[in-house]
Amino acid sequence: MSVLFKTLGFSLGLTLLFTLVTYLLPQVKGEAPVEKAVDLGSLTMESFIALGDEIFHNKGTCTLCHQPAPLGRAPDIGGEDMVALANKHLADERYQGDAKNAEEYIRESLLHPGKYVVAGWGKKGSNDTESPMPMVDKPPIQLTPIEIDAVIAWLEAKDGGEVTVALPTAEAAAEVASAATADDSGKAPAPATTAEEALAKYACTSCHAMDSNDVLVGPGLVDIGSRLSKEELRQSIVDPNAVVAEGFPPAMPPDFASKMTVSELEMIVNYLAEKKG
């Protein structure tokens, strides 16, 4: 563990502090978010698991796809026993990854989703050889190694399984915390300043290829500007179920209108309008 932490930089510090401050404290202690002076040394496994729960349902954007049918665009791993699923898939003759146990299987699913694609859930037309699941350590989701451990801990623990991931050591957590300046780490994310930033912030790129017509979860948008007018683009983002692209499930999140600033929406619309293939 400690070698891992030495290689982690400043951004991890900020993120760890941010997640601890805004997610963990209110949830675990029922208090208003505290801006500074978090006692990272007192992190318990119980709070680490709670952090994973929060990340799964919020920052990780996992529930964009992982939900019960009929809404789900991915297996309902929140509702099913993930350790049992992992062991079942490890025993599948189609499994050709490197994992030897449930923890390794879950980690591999997060970092290299294409190593094993759950039957029936592959990218459209790929015959279950390609996964639509984004790599969670890359943009737009970009979880840190500690956050990934927390999510795995929660997935193991939520149905009573044994938690096999290690807690970040107090020493490592403190090192990380002292690297953070923490002035604005507890605030809501700032509005995006470019279209690319906005697309990443709202995880559009988890579901849409921007430079091709490949289908991830939704259609590729490389030539969307020649298919839809600005007015139609705006509607497809703020009221996605008004017109549903042919051949696709109504799977766009319906709540962008309440989350985006007007300028973020306009940047995205102008950017997409320029995409003519």
The residue from 61, 144, 156, 225 that contacts ligand HEC (CB under 6 A) is 61
Select the span of 16-24, 30-38, 171-179, 245-253 touching ligand HEC (CB under 6 A): 245-253
Task: Between 5 and 256, name the residue whose CB sits nearer to ligand HEC.
Answer: 256
* Interface with ligand HEC, residue 108, by CB under 6 A: no
As to burial, measured by CB atoms within 10 angstroms (0-12 exposed, 13-18 middle, 19+ buried), residue 98 is exposed
Smallest CA-to-CA distance from 209 within 201, 198, 199, 194 is with 199
Q: What is the C-alpha separation between 77 and 159, in angstroms, rounded?
A: 11
Task: Between 182 and 272, name the residue whose CB sits nearer to ligand HEC.
Answer: 272
Task: Between 180 and 233, name the residue whose CB sits nearer to ligand HEC.
Answer: 233
Q: How far is the CB of 243 from ligand HEC (least distance, A)?
A: 7
Q: How far is the CB of 207 from ligand HEC (least distance, A)?
A: 3
Q: What is the C-alpha separation between 79 and 66, in angstroms, rounded?
A: 9
Q: What is the C-alpha separation between 158 and 62, in angstroms, rounded?
A: 16
Select the span of 21-29, 36-44, 68-76, 172-180 touching ligand HEC (CB under 6 A): 68-76
Q: What is the C-alpha separation between 107 and 194, in angstroms, rounded?
A: 32
| Residues touching ligand HEC, count (CB under 6 A) | 54
* Interface with ligand HEC, residue 132, by CB under 6 A: yes
Q: Judge contact between 208 and 271, C-beta under 8 A.
A: no
Select the span of 12-20, 92-100, 108-116, 182-190 touching ligand HEC (CB under 6 A): 108-116
Q: What is the C-alpha separation between 106 and 185, in angstroms, rounded?
A: 29
